Amino acid sequence: MKRLASLLLLPLALGLLLLFSPALTPPALGAPGICVGPVCGDEIHRSAKHHWQLRLRVNDQQGQHERLVVDCRNGVLSPLAGPVERGYAAAVARRACRLAGEA
């Protein structure tokens, strides 16, 4: 009788463990949108006023981040200087423009 009870309780215990194990795991972090070298861009939005402008947030591996506006017609970034290296930020912006169909 004890063996039968233990055979019934084992699947029940495993089922409860599987049921509550997602609550014990930490949430997964989302991947960044577009990365070129050490700089990644995410939160990419099209400007409401000018369809050729994209707004994006760029960050680097040192933890510096900023929001940029890129004119996809000629690839100009605004602001022209900032904490994130502009060569990589411009490459991220060009890729975002290509993906948005504005290049």
pLDDT at res. 8: 66
Q: Between vectors from CA 17 to CA 15 and to CA 23, what angle results, nearest 5°?
A: 125
pTM of the model: 0.68
pLDDT at res. 11: 72
pLDDT at res. 1: 61
DSSP 8-state code for residue 6: H
Q: Is the dihedral of CA 78, 95, 66, 51 positive or negative?
A: positive
pLDDT at res. 28: 47
Intervals of the chain under pLDDT 70: 1-8, 10, 12-32, 103
Residue found under tokens 């233990």: 6
